[in-house]
Amino acid sequence: MTLPRSSSSTSNSLHNQTALVTGATRGIGLAIAQALAAQGCNLVLTGRDENALRRASRELASAKIQILAQPCDVRDPQSIDDLFRTIRRQFKRLDILVNNAGIAHANLTVDKLPLPLWQDVIETNLTGMFVVTQAALAFMKRGGTIVNNLSGEFALSPCCPEPPTPLSGTRSGHKPREKR
């Protein structure tokens, strides 16, 4: 993996490109939105909390870019359909997708984790990412970039004699599609 030596070596500016950031109201999602805005990238911000979305949108307004802030629950395919219909109407293009929406649960061992909680995490972090990506690909026929952000804390199995060892990190994959 090769990364540019510094963020100032930006020969490939994102000016006039459009990025969709899911889970953009706080944390890493908001920070990625801010970093993209600094590169001149137009933004589609989504999240479940309308007030937080409005706040994020206001924060980024000084960047002189186009911003669409639309509530979207990635667990709900209808909500995703509505989002992409709006993107098509307002931007007509999508160059970057940042699949950042995700939830975490308390650090429970498997024997104590309720099934509904497990299902909620899978629906949001896995199925949601899949459905959003599927919808976005229809906009990326000419090329684009997809970033999947997976952050987590992991613990050893409870059957291990040692106390659980927390590990934390963020894994992101970036997959550009060749522009034609």
Interface residues with other proteins (CB under 8 A)? 1-4, 7, 10, 12, 14, 27-28, 30-32, 34-36, 39, 96, 98, 143, 145, 147, 149, 165, 167-176, 178-179
Q: Contact, 144 vs 96, CB < 8 A?
A: yes
The alpha helices in the chain, defined as continuous H runs, are: 27-38, 50-60, 77-90, 115-121, 128-137
Closest CA to 25 of 83, 81, 73: 73
Q: Position of tokens 């002189």?
A: 64
The nearest distance, CB 96 to other proteins, in angstroms, is 6
The nearest distance, CB 116 to other proteins, in angstroms, is 29
Whichever of 92 and 179 has its CB closer to other proteins, that residue is 179
CA distance 68 to 120: 27
Whichever of 114 and 176 has its CB closer to other proteins, that residue is 176
The nearest distance, CB 114 to other proteins, in angstroms, is 28
Whichever of 79 and 145 has its CB closer to other proteins, that residue is 145
The nearest distance, CB 180 to other proteins, in angstroms, is 10
Whichever of 10 and 134 has its CB closer to other proteins, that residue is 10
The nearest distance, CB 3 to other proteins, in angstroms, is 5
b/e map 96-110, b = 16+ CB within 10 Å: bbbbbbbeeeeeeee
Whichever of 62 and 165 has its CB closer to other proteins, that residue is 165
CA distance 72 to 30: 15
